[in-house]
Structure 1
């Protein structure tokens, strides 16, 4: 299964990042929640993005932070060396997509929740 870093992870069950963590876990994908919020999501500690935690073997980064908050994390996100970055609705960012493509990282403007539900994750 695909190890997925959830950038913008939260313990708030009303947020899409939380729903993605649940659905990814339900589908058997390993999650690595990363964000500014503290706590646990489905038995995984949310790693503090401010500490730029090193994570190995990331297949997918799924973004849940808006484009206005992404620039300070560009280098960190790209340092994870994912195979792809999913820009969920409201996170689309042409500049980061361009930087990712230069490093051979695939990008998708899509919804992680929908992708999982229809089976094309």
Structure 2
């Protein structure tokens, strides 16, 4: 089953966790779309700098701190993902409440760990 994932806060820097997450997701053959501040490509995934209306997004994995997330609340809700993963340092009670009101599952976890233990 496909769990198309949007990496929100994607980076071209290979040492950043968002970049590593893109590569690990692709290693597991999970479809990935990515949004970041700089356009580029990680493996076979293009990092977009414009907010696209991605279709069939199952999961959004966040790599933005809570303050930076605020401008993306409506965008995240518009995509109607099944779940949003709050990676370490991205935990945001305000956004979690908004997502829960829309019956979108939230998970405070590390995408890299979830992938490693096959719990993604």
TM-score (norm 2): 0.96
**Could you say which residue in structure 1 is the equivalent of 2:22?**
21
| Per-residue Cα deviation, 1:30-84 (whole angstroms, up to 9, x for no partner) | 0001111111111221111xx3211000000000000010101100011111000
Aligned length: 119
1:33–1:41: 8 Å Cα contact kept in structure 2? no
Are residue 65 (structure 1) and residue 64 (structure 2) matched? yes
How well do the aligned residues superpose, as a CA RMSD in angstroms?
0.7
**Could you say which residue in structure 2 is the equivalent of 1:119?**
118
Where in structure 1 do 4 or more consecutive aligned residues deviate above 4 Å?
A: none
Structure 2 unmatched runs, 5+: none
**Could you say which residue in structure 2 is the equivalent of 1:110?**
109
Are residue 43 (structure 1) and residue 44 (structure 2) matched? yes
Q: Distance in 2 between matches of 1:43 and 1:113?
A: 19
Structure 1 unmatched runs, 5+: none
TM-score (norm 1): 0.96
